[in-house]
A and B are shown apart, each in its own frame.
Chain A
Amino acid sequence: MYVAVKGGERAISAAHAWLEETRRGDASVPELAVAQIEQQMPLAVDRVMAEGSCHDRFLAALAIKQAKGDLIEAAFLLRAYRTTLPRFGASEPLETARMRLRRRISATYKDLPGGQVLGPTFDYTHRLLDFALAAEGEERATGPEASAPVGEAPRVTELLAREGLMQRERDDEAEPGDLTRQPLAFPAERPVRLQNLARGDEGFLLALGYSTQRGYGNAHPFVGEIRVGHVTVEFTPPELGFPIELGEIGITECQMVNQFKGSRTEPAQFTRGYGLVFGHGERRAMAMALVDRGLRARELGEDVTAPAQDEEFVLYHSDNIEATGFVEHLKLPHYVDFQSELENLRTIRKSAEQALPEAAE
Chain B
Amino acid sequence: MDHMITADTEKRRRWMAVLARAAADEIAGLLATLPPLPAHERLRAPETGLVMVRGRAGGDGAPFNLGEMTVTRCAVRLGDAVGHGYVAGRDKRQAELAALLDAALQDPARRDALMEGVIAPLATRQQAARDAEARKAAATRVDFFAMQTTR
Does A touch B (CB under 8 Å) in the complex?
A: yes
Chain A residues at the B interface, C-beta cutoff of 8 Å = 49-50, 53-56, 58-59, 82, 85-94, 96-97, 100-103, 110-111, 115-120, 143-151, 155, 157-158, 169-174, 176-180, 190-192, 194-195, 198-199, 232-233, 235, 237, 239-249, 253, 255, 272, 274, 276-278
Which A residues are CB-close (under 8 A) to B69?
Answer: 54-56, 91, 233, 246, 249
Which B residues are CB-close (under 8 A) to A151?
Answer: 134
The interface-forming segment of B32-40, B49-57, B105-113, B116-124 is B49-57
- Contact indicator B68/A119 (Cβ below 8 Å): no
Q: How far, in Å, is A154 (CB) from chain B's closest CB?
A: 11
Q: Of A176, A239, A245, which contacts B16 at CB under 8 A? A: A245
- Contact indicator A143/B54 (Cβ below 8 Å): no
Which A residues are CB-close (under 8 A) to B133?
Answer: 100, 102
B147 within 8 A of A: no
The contact string, 1 if C-beta is below 8 Å from chain A, for chain B 134-146, is 1111111110100
Interface residues on B, range: 35 or more
The contact string, 1 if C-beta is below 8 Å from chain A, for chain B 72-95, is 010100000000101111100000
Scan residues 15-29 of chain B and give those whose CB is less than 8 A from a CB of chain A: 16-17, 20-21
Knowing A55-B70, A56-B89, A91-B52, say if A171 contacts B62 (CB, 8 Å): yes
Which A residues are CB-close (under 8 A) to B53?
Answer: 55, 90-91, 94, 233, 249
Q: How far, in Å, is B128 (CB) from chain A's closest CB?
A: 11
- Contact indicator B86/A97 (Cβ below 8 Å): no
Closest to B135 in A: A145
Closest to A88 in B: B49
Q: How far is the CA of A301 from the CA of B89 in the complex (A)?
A: 43
Q: How far, in Å, is A249 (CB) from chain B's closest CB?
A: 6
Q: How far is the CA of A176 from the CA of B63 in the complex (A)?
A: 6
- Sort A-B residue pairs by CB-CB distance and give the 7 closest, nearest first: A169-B61, A149-B134, A247-B88, A191-B64, A146-B138, A145-B135, A55-B69
- Contact indicator B51/A101 (Cβ below 8 Å): no
B13 within 8 A of A: yes
The residue in A49, A97, A145, A232 that gathers the most chain B C-beta atoms within 10 A of its C-beta is: A145
- Contact indicator A235/B68 (Cβ below 8 Å): no
- Contact indicator B61/A170 (Cβ below 8 Å): yes
Q: How far is the CA of A174 from the CA of B61 in the complex (A)?
A: 11
Knowing A54-B70, A150-B137, A245-B13, say if A94 contacts B56 (CB, 8 Å): yes
Q: Of B54, B62, B71, B90, which contacts A174 at CB under 8 A? A: B62
Which B residues are CB-close (under 8 A) to A115?
Answer: 141-142
B130 within 8 A of A: yes
- Contact indicator B51/A149 (Cβ below 8 Å): no
Q: How far, in Å, is B5 (CB) from chain A's closest CB?
A: 6
Which A residues are CB-close (under 8 A) to B130?
Answer: 100
Closest to B70 in A: A56
- Contact indicator B88/A171 (Cβ below 8 Å): no
